[in-house]
Amino acid sequence: MSDTQIFDRVAIIGIGLIGSSVALALRANGLAGHVACHDADADVRARADALDIVDSMHADIAGAVDGADLVVVATPVGACGAVAEAMGAHLKPGAIVTDVGSVKGSVITAMTPHIPEGVHLVPGHPVAGTEHSGPESGFADLFQNRFSILTPPPGANADAVATLSRLWQGMGSDVEVMDAEHHDRVLAITSHLPHLIAYTIVGTAADLETELEAQPRDDEVVTTREVIKYSAGGFRDFTRIAASDPVMWRDVFLLNKDAVLEMVGRFTEDMTALQSAIHDDDGDALFELFSRTRDIRRGVIEARQAGRFQYTENGKQSDDDGEEGDA
């Protein structure tokens, strides 16, 4: 056993982007003696096997969690309840069960009834990812310098929370503990609403071509080809997050419904106000808002949450995500 090892045996349920990144991060940092894995999809199991990123692959969930000290559920959040039900009876007494979902309240509600006494449920959420999916997309550094949030239910085992915190820190994350309801509100504005907006505008743009096809005047038709061609003007920033996994995001919106709908409501109100300002030629209102939002960006950069990329092509380096694109 290495100095860094925290768990003898870890089971990962679901080996997509996050599951495979956890597997790689555990290995890279020597945090687990053995990493077992189950995925419900035989094709995904075969692909993950070919990548050699886990120590054992199991077609049955019972085989994967058997003897595991930690089980990491990395499926879309809508599947967490069924996973807990399927594995509940096979969990080792004293084991920790966690997940990586973007919604926490409904995950706790769905999983708790199936977790046997003596097993510690400590839900979690690493705020990290890419728009790519599947076991091929994972990488060991995904969680480096990102926040991982733990949302232990009231009365959760303090040792289990501390051990899981050490694990995420071992994978490079800063760990924060908060209650599930608060997590779901924070993520509704910082992640869920941005994704919903991105999906919407990309859909709006795609529809322009078809909707206007019947129009008599050619110059009114904006084609998808044109939208793509001139996307450097700002649109492409939205296409990236609108390429994220459809099942994962369907589940997030349905399972964090209240907080998401509240944030959508606030956003729509603000959008309507700006619409009126444009309509009424109220340049001062526009200028005031546009000046205020710059400060937030400054905060993002100072908090070093703006990405960790270097602009390499023209030798100009950037301290933020460095993308060019406005126009």
Q: Shortest approach of a copy of itself to residue 152 CB, angstroms?
A: 14
Q: Shortest approach of a copy of itself to residue 218 CB, angstroms?
A: 8
The answer to whether residue 319 forms part of the interface with a copy of itself (CB under 8 A) is no
The answer to whether residue 220 forms part of the interface with a copy of itself (CB under 8 A) is yes
Are residues 77 and 103 in contact, defined by beta-carbon separation less than 8 angstroms? yes
**How far is the C-alpha of 147 from the C-alpha of 127, rounded, in Å?**
6
- List the one residue from 54, 57, 87, 127 that touches a copy of itself (CB under 8 A): 127
Q: Shortest approach of a copy of itself to residue 59 CB, angstroms?
A: 26
**How far is the C-alpha of 26 from the C-alpha of 7, rounded, in Å?**
10
Residues 6+ apart with CB under 8 A from 200: none
- List the one residue from 186, 210, 214, 215 that touches a copy of itself (CB under 8 A): 186
**How far is the C-alpha of 200 from the C-alpha of 268, rounded, in Å?**
13
The answer to whether residue 215 forms part of the interface with a copy of itself (CB under 8 A) is no
Candidates 49-57, 89-97, 113-121, 246-254 — which segment interacts with a copy of itself by CB under 8 A?
A: 246-254
The residues in 141-180 that bind a copy of itself, with binding defined as CB under 8 A, are 141-142, 144, 146-147, 149, 179
Pick 50 or 289: Cβ nearer a copy of itself: 289
Count CB atoms within 10 A of the CB of residue 280: 9
The answer to whether residue 210 forms part of the interface with a copy of itself (CB under 8 A) is no
The residues in 295-314 that bind a copy of itself, with binding defined as CB under 8 A, are 296-300, 303, 305-314
The answer to whether residue 206 forms part of the interface with a copy of itself (CB under 8 A) is yes
Q: Give the torsion through C-alpha atoms of 18, 21, 27, 31, to 10 deg.
A: -50
Q: Which residues partner with 98 through β-bridges?
A: 72
The answer to whether residue 281 forms part of the interface with a copy of itself (CB under 8 A) is yes
Q: What is the DSSP letter of 283?
A: H
The residues in 16-55 that bind a copy of itself, with binding defined as CB under 8 A, are none
The H or E element containing residue 100 is none
What are the contacts of 309-316 at 24+ separation with CB within 8 A?
A: none
The residues in 81-110 that bind a copy of itself, with binding defined as CB under 8 A, are 102
